[in-house]
Structure 1
Amino acid sequence: MRTARTIRHVAAAAALAALLAACSGGGTPDQATLGATSTGTTAPGATPTSPQAGPDAGPLPGVGIQLFQWSWDAIAQECTSALGPAGISWVLTSPPQEHVLGEQWWTSYQPVSHKIESRLGTREQFAAMVGTCRDAGVGIVADAVVNHMSGQEDPGVGWAGSSYEHYEYPGLFSDADGDFHHCDAPDGDIQNYKDASQVQGCELVSLADLATGTEHVRDTLKAYLADLMDLGVAGFRIDAAKHMPPADVAAIVADLPDGAVVWQEVIRGGGEPVTPEQYVDNGQVFEFGYGRELVGLLGGSTFRQALTLGERGMLPSDDAVVFVTNHDTERNGETLVSRDAEYLLANVLMLAGAYGTPVLYSGYAFDDRDAGPVQDADGRVLDATCADDAAPTTDLEAGAWTCEQRWPAIQGMVQWRHVTDGAGLAAVDESASDVLAFSRGDLGTVVVNRGDEPATGTWASTLAPGRYCDVAGGTVSAGECAGATIVVAPDGTLSATVPAEGFIAVHAEGRVS
């Protein structure tokens, strides 16, 4: 029997599949916790379509990316010049609403009004970005801060000129109307994460906690989300969902149209009563355990478990959004980050895996965990820039953009994932302790070397004999390789030297004469 979840998932997958076919000619193409497609261009004459999946809809097809603190103009340009051509299906933006003033990144997560006006751009720029990205086949998922307002004790004026106080936001919320929670814990802040009533009824580091169980608060938040939907977004990341009862989140997203993306931030904590599983009826949930586990697998003795990651102690695959790092975890030391040697391999394993909906990450280098992106004299974030030869590096200057979406190896693996999507695991070879080789059906083979020395060997492949592009060097385009080639022999094996802390990858659509 088909459930509503299954029907919405099938519809979303079909919509994206149609878009991919049209575009490719049928080819396959603390403060720190506050934020705690293969596509191309739309077919001539067709209506641009954003890849979408609804609440309860299961995983989106394709690969997404979080462009943290990127301006709307920069995202629009990136959709056209890089993301669409690379096969990225959707972008997770930073929060678009008016926020408190300040240079730190977390000011974006302290709303003072629901005006679509921030240091990342104006309402008009946001709407233009959504349209430009949609035309490039890339959907926009907006980060929605609906659990709280600001944490400022003193009255202030926000980015767009709105006056506010800690518990007074004219035209939106007022303490006098019962729009905020106040609890008996010291300073009103969460003290005990093993007490669900505190987690969901006290303040998170002094942030004015909205009474999301009340009709007025819910209706106001619904109106904010509806406004963003009218601007064309595909859906939302629900920031700090853990700090709202699941029923409150359900009520807030209840009026979203079928096909709207709902991703919830619920960080799993050992022995805590609030768990990600409680939220899956509202939509997908970020599985923080995934990135944490990758750290150990790339440095420990259980390398093969990378192939079954997600089967133990995590959400079911259809409910999980997975990532190597995000804007919180890169600042708290829980996960690998772009300056780590193993970071690229972690992303390769995520893209080659079958668990969850994968989201890449692209932010900026920093020396201070609170530091915001580079801004002009008025506090506006400068447009991100990426070098033509963007690649993994350990020595970016503070403020430089990391640009993972431009790395040839990342683009190559996004393409590899599109080609192999849905194929089962095959030809696993873990005979060497630091090398893991495997295939997906008869569509692609990957060999990953986590060791600090090159690995020369021969591994089984399920591909037909022939010469193939190694997409570790970039994508295959019009039968041309961006990097080296690898030969699959008549006996179905491939022989190669895999770089230290590197990989090779070939897929069925990368065969060359």
Structure 2
Amino acid sequence: MSIWQLSYLIAPSRDPPAIPHWSIDGSADPPYKLELWPFRIQTELSVQPSSSRSSKMIFTKTLLALAFVAIANAQFSPNYESGRNGMVHLFEWKWDDIAAECENFLGPYGYAGLQVSPVNENAVKSGRPWWERYQPISYKLTTRSGNEEQFASMVKRCNAVGVRTYVDVVFNHMAADGGTYGTAGSTADPSTKSFPGVPFSSLDFNPTCSISNYNDANQVRNCELVGLRDLNQGNSWVQDKVVEFLNHLIELGVAGFRVDAAKHMWPSDLGVIYGRLNNLNTAHGFSSGAKPYIFQEVIDMGGEAISKTEYTGIGAVTEFRHSDSIGKAFRGKDQLQYLVNWGTAWGFAASDRSLVFVDNHDNQRGHGAGGADVLTYKVPKQYKMASAFMLAHPFGVPRVMSSFSFDDTDQGPPTTDGTNIASPGFNSDMSCSGGWVCEHRWRQIYNMVAFRNAADGAELQNWWDNGSNQISFSRGNKAFVAFNNDNYDLNSSLQTGLPAGTYCDVISGVKNGSSCTGKSVTVGSDGRASISISSSADDGVLALHVNAKL
């Protein structure tokens, strides 16, 4: 009988396959070498001469089992409370204001989670542009949004009302030249790569170079994005400091992370970092053994060296093709009838690997992917339609954008004095004022979050289209939605899939007891209803669900 001697070495890889697997080099004499991707676990195997073929087969099966365990342990659940779906990005809000929003609006209206702007100390830049939040000075939890005590209180208050927090984390880089002092009082010298607030020194960064060729993966991942000092995530000290930062946030009760600029980091390095993260804090209501939900910013529109499939084995990705494609459809560049096979057929990652959105804080300003096709609050009818489709369709984990208004794409959030962020005001219809757009408070959007909650678990059924830009579908027998993006009215008898009864159209109004402030629709015993959407309507959508039955 053979005696197997194993030694393990975790090392960074620079060219991993997309899917985790074991590779075994058994062509040479012992010791045999094995590797588990994408975590680059190298295993040396020594064998004493004997009848080794059967032993190798047994050991190989064991290794394969271990590989499947590693894959199964990857966490792709957003850790929402039961009965809730969908998150909102409260871009540049203050922590105290977010806590109140969780209690007063997000919780009561069924939102499951919220993404916050970066929480760690950033460089103070002239004019206070929004992008200063993406220039780290240290991992101290003090920004214009508030300090650590305020952040911790916010997370606790939001968790208490069923709303989970996801932090936008920036650890691809530190601040560029000119970022000499930060929001927590730390100082730095980016020109010499000195960031004592962490501390990081020149030993922790990749050599200085700029990205000029996105078809060169080494350049994209090892060089500096627009002059931002590029950290080496394969460096053990860097890994230690990043893991310490993320685990501290987990201890405070967050549910997961948006990983900024993930495309500019090696998947193998990220895999090591993710693998060292603690389970979520059960004191905040998470189940024992729950892992942080990770969605990685990987802009992949095709035609470049780096693919999102290199990252989907270790976390979800922000699916920019969804944003681009939904914008083209509802701008009229693609017909709505083509949405019948919405999902992976459009080049998207798998549903549980896709964080989907109509727009985000970057591409609504012309940064990132999508260009002029991206829909924003500036074209409200098409934006409402696209948001309603995203929330009605079962594909992906949707994220609603909540903006502040801007004309200058560098413009920061509303302030009281040019420096301190102003709190949003609220109108009688629950919309925002004071320079805040608050798309998440638009009736057509928050009611579609309730629609998604009502439809949870139901498959897409009863697809109908008119051969161009009028479509409808049901979510099993729980919900029904119709869209009209043609320049003429929709007037058709359609199969809703719903039980017989009268329903409130949650796009035009809200259910108020046994009445509706908007249109009501009667569904017959056969599930059919007369559906009408005027081409001149402000929103172009009609939506019904079982919780809006009158």
- Give the TM-score of the pair, scaled to structure 2: 0.79
Residues 214-363 of structure 1 correspond to what in structure 2 (within 5 A)?
214-256=235-277, 257=279, 258-298=290-330, 299-312=332-345, 313-332=347-366, 333=371, 334-340=373-379, 341-363=381-403
Residue 78 of structure 1: CA displacement? 0.8
Matching of residue 211 in structure 1 with residue 232 in structure 2: yes
CA distance in 2, matches of 1:282, 1:483: 45
Could you say if the C-alpha distance between residues 155 and 424 of structure 1 is closer, same or farther in structure 2, counting changes exceeding 3 Å? closer
Aligned residue in 2 for 1:381: 421
Residue in 2 that maps onto 1:168: 194
> Where does 1:39-54 land on structure 2 (aligned, <5 Å)?
none
SS where residue 74 of structure 1 aligns?
helix
* Structure 1 residues not aligned, in runs of 5+: 21-36, 38-61
2:76 touches 2:353 (CA, 8 Å); kept in 1? no
Distance 1:303 1:219, change over 3 A: same
Pairwise CA RMSD: 2.3
**Distance of aligned partners of 1:400 and 1:309 in 2 relative to their CA distance in 1, 3 Å threshold:** same
1:33-64, Cα deviation, whole Å (9 max, x unpaired): xxxx2xxxxxxxxxxxxxxxxxxxxxxxx111
Contact 2:77 2:293 in 1 (8 A): no
Post-superposition offset of 1:222: 0.7
Task: After superposing the two structures, state which structure 1 stretch, 159-168 or 331-340, moved more.
Answer: 331-340
1:147 shift after superposition: 0.3
> What is the Cα deviation at residue 457 of structure 1?
2.6
**Take 1:335 and 1:306, find their aligned partners in 2: how far apart are those partners?**
17
| Amino acid corresponding to residue 270 of structure 1 in structure 2 | G
- Partner of 2:324: helix, strand, or coil? helix
1:159 maps to a residue whose letter is T
The answer to which of 496-505 and 216-225 deviates more is 496-505
> In structure 1, what residue type is equivalent to 2:198?
L
CA distance in 1, matches of 2:76, 2:122: 38
Structure 1 residue 412, shift from structure 2 partner: 1.6
Deviation at 1:11, TM superposition (A): 8.4
Structure 2 equivalent of residue 50 of structure 1: none
Query: How far 1:508 moved relative to its partner?
Result: 2.1
Moved more, 437-446 or 103-112: 437-446
2:544 counterpart residue number = 506
Greater alpha carbon shift after TM alignment, 289-298 vs 2-11: 2-11
Q: Is the 8 A contact 1:290 1:309 kept in 2?
A: no
Whose Rg is larger?
2
CA contact (8 A) 1:12 1:259 kept: no
1:448 aligns with 2:495: no
Q: Which amino acid aligns with 1:336?
A: L
CA contact (8 A) 2:74 2:314 kept: no
Counterparts of 2:123 and 2:482 in 1: how far apart (Å)?
47
Deviation at 1:494, TM superposition (A): 1.0
**Residue 410, structure 1, aligned to residue 450, structure 2:** no
How many correspondences in the alignment? 458
- Contact 1:465–1:488 (CA<8 Å) still a contact in 2? yes
1:365 aligned to 365, 381, 405, which one? 405
Equivalent position amino acid for 2:196 in 1: P
Q: Is the 8 A contact 1:429 1:438 kept in 2?
A: yes
Q: Which residue of 2 aligns with 1:494?
A: 529
Whole-angstrom CA distance in 2 between matches of 1:234 and 1:104: 28
C-alpha displacement of 1:314: 1.6
Q: Aligned with 2:230: secondary structure? A: coil
Q: Distance in 2 between matches of 1:494 and 1:9?
A: 41
Is the 8 Å Cα contact of residues 122 and 134 (structure 2) preserved in structure 1? yes
Q: Identify which of 126, 151, 158 aligns with 2:182.
A: 158
Distance 1:161 1:290 in 2: 40
Distance, in Å, in 2 between the alignment partners of 1:401 and 1:287 is: 26
**CA, structure 1 residues 3+417, in 2 after alignment: closer, same or farther (shift >3 Å)?**
farther
Pair 1:95-2:118 in alignment: yes
Aligned residue type for 1:424: E
| C-alpha deviation, 1:363, in angstroms | 1.0
Residue 456 of structure 1, CA deviation: 2.5
Distance 2:151 2:406 in 1: 26
Match of 1:106 among 117, 131, 134: 131
Letter in 1 for 2:100: Q
What is the rounded CA distance, in whole Å, between the counterparts of 2:75 and 2:311 in structure 1?
18
**In 2, distance between residues paired with 1:378 and 1:429?**
51
Q: Which residue of 2 aligns with 1:72?
A: 95
Structure 1: distance between partners of 2:530 and 2:349: 37
Instruction: Note the alpha carbon deviations across 1:207-241, whole angstroms, 9 max, x for none.
Output: 00001110001101111111111211111111000
Name the counterpart of 1:23.
none
Among candidates 187, 190, 194, match of residue 215 of structure 2: 194
Q: Which runs of 5+ in 2 are unaligned?
A: 1-64, 280-289
Query: What TM-score does the superposition give when structure 1 sets the normalisation length?
Result: 0.84
CA distance in 2, matches of 1:91, 1:12: 11
State the AA in 1 paired with 2:527: G
Aligned AA for 1:122?
A: N
CA distance in 1 between counterparts of 2:169 and 2:196 reads 20
